[in-house]
Amino acid sequence: MHNVLILGLAALAAAAPAKRQVPHYPPTSLSNGFFLVANVTDPSLDLSPSINGWVFQTAHTGPPTNAAVLQAPGSSVPGRVFYENGTAEQVHYGQSTVITDGATPPTPFGIFIQSPTEFDITYPTEHDLFVNAGPGTPSRITDFPNPYPILQNNQGVGTFVACNNTVPYYGYKFITINYAYATFEGPDGGYEYHANIPEGCAPINLVPQCTTLNTLPPDAYASHEFAAPVRCYDDVAAIDWTQYGP
């Protein structure tokens, strides 16, 4: 009887499920307005000085166009305030765009991302980002099931990158924001992922940091009627990402 009891307990122990690892992610809030903050996804490719925590800003290159650049934190001029523009249906089907207001009276300026077949004239291995008048390229802040809210380009799989480039309009260096499209082809037609990060560029996520979306004046061309609430962080720079994950 004693041996039977031991065998029974052993069987129960063997049948008990392994302890599950509980997912743990930094807390988010909901906001209609947000900054976009760079988070370097591969520290070995970071620039010098590090651009981790730098903020999405624009460099005017002529009406109504702007280069997408990163600005060091602590500047007296804050980063651009963005919002995701679209109905609930457009957001769900990846047809929303990410917009900032510019000019006087306020006008919607969208983030335009070159397609996989378009390239920068000066840097022919890179796909440019512009912030120009108009709705912009289909993009969104990721939601469930992605545990981390980040800016997503809906034109194709890849990653945003930060590059130390000369902007021709100024003739000197900026940290520009570009996009690297991934490819999925291996030897003999096999499936193999290639990130295609341009040499000298750092792969980044553009992470939303919550802020207040301003009230528009009566003469504004822009509208916040369809500014969708998105998940965002209260302080991206304060997050120790190594403490989180599944």
Return the ∠ at Cα 125 (arms to 115 and 130), rounded to 5°: 45
**Spatial distance between the Cα atoms of 231 and 212, rounded to a whole number of angstroms:** 13
What per-residue confidence (pLDDT) applies to 5?
43
Single-letter code of the amino acid located at 13:
A
The structure's pTM equals 0.87
Residue with tokens 């912030």: 131
pLDDT per residue of the chain (246 residues) written in tens, 0 to 9: 445 444 444 444 555 555 556 668 999 999 999 999 999 999 999 999 999 999 999 999 988 889 999 999 877 778 899 999 999 899 888 889 999 999 999 999 999 999 999 998 888 889 999 999 999 999 999 988 889 999 999 998 999 999 999 998 899 999 999 999 998 887 776 678 888 999 999 999 999 999 999 999 999 999 999 999 999 999 998 998 888 877
Q: Rounded to the nearest 5°, which phi and psi values hold at 91?
A: -60, -45
What per-residue confidence (pLDDT) applies to 63?
84
**Spatial distance between the Cα atoms of 49 and 55, rounded to a whole number of angstroms:** 14
How many other C-beta atoms are found inside a 10 Å radius of the C-beta of residue 106?
Answer: 18
What per-residue confidence (pLDDT) applies to 189?
65
**Spatial distance between the Cα atoms of 101 and 227, rounded to a whole number of angstroms:** 12
Nearest to 71 by CA among 110, 38, 112: 38
